[in-house]
Chain A
Amino acid sequence: DVKVTQSSRYLVKRTGEKVFLECVQDMDHENMFWYRQDPGLGLRLIYFSYDVKMKEKGDIPEGYSVSREKKERFSLILESASTNQTSMYLCASISGGVRETQYFGPGTRLLVL
């Protein structure tokens, strides 16, 4: 089974802190994604990466950055956390190809105080 793991299930941070969310997948997938999910808004794509050191902006990249130094690891960085970044963050990976499906991690619930 594909496994996508996220470094934390729950995080509490203060406004202005730098926050790192880590995601690791074990299936040698080329493509990885970061979403946030808020009540009533569904999943919104923040950033994605289709190769090592490659990154593309999603729908809501403002206030975030990412890093993909190794194929299996995709990090989401909040340079200066703000209260409006309190959310559930979901990482996903996919190997590619038209019939491939995304595999999601368990999510990280971040609270910024």
Chain B
Amino acid sequence: LAKTTQPISMDSYEGQEVNITCSHNNIATNDYITWYQQFPSQGPRFIIQGYKTKVTNEVASLFIPADRKSSTLSLPRVSLSDTAVYYCLVGAYSGNTPLVFGKGTRLSVIA
């Protein structure tokens, strides 16, 4: 299973764009990159997933370079409600091989 490395914490002011980078040097050919968001006292929830290049949805964008050894979650114009822990997972889930959560990045948005 590919291991991931993320910053432990980040701070940002409201209205700024936040980029959280995840390193996954030993990503395998069939691995996908998935990001989850977790608010205090709640379970994680899926926010975005990608394989290569760029993926965008209503919540975030995910940038993946050609070598796929890293990925960047981009949150446009964050608000106080984006304060959460963000997890990067890499893998191709199938049957009895669950993905591994790292410690995540704690994002604090300041007014």
Measuring CB to CB, which residues of chain A are less than 8 angstroms from any residue of chain B?
4, 31, 33, 35, 40-45, 48, 50, 56, 58, 88, 90-92, 94, 96-107, 109
Contact = CB atoms under 8 A, between A and B. Distances in A.
Interface residues of B, number: 24
Given A50-B96, A56-B96, A35 B101 contact: yes
Contacts of B87: 42-43
The 5 tightest CB contacts between A and B, nearest first, are A104-B43, A42-B103, A43-B101, A101-B46, A98-B92
Contacts of A44: 101
Given A102-B46, A104-B43, A107-B43, 6 more contacts: A42-B102, A42-B104, A50-B96, A90-B43, A98-B30, A99-B32
**Interface SS of chain B: helix, strand, loop or mixed?**
loop
Nearest to A44: B101
A29 to B, nearest CB: 12
B98 A98 contact: no
Nearest to B34: A101
A88 to B, nearest CB: 8
A22 to B, nearest CB: 15
B102 A96 contact: no
Contacts of A35: 101
Nearest to B41: A107
B45 interface: yes
B93 interface: yes
A109 B41 contact: yes
Contacts of A43: 44, 87, 101
Nearest to B92: A98
27 contacts: A4-B43, A31-B95, A31-B98, A40-B103, A41-B103, A42-B87, A42-B103, A43-B101, A50-B96, A56-B96, A58-B98, A88-B41, A92-B43, A94-B93, A97-B94, A98-B30, A98-B32, A99-B49, A100-B93, A101-B46, A101-B49, A102-B36, A102-B44, A102-B46, A103-B46, A104-B44, A106-B43
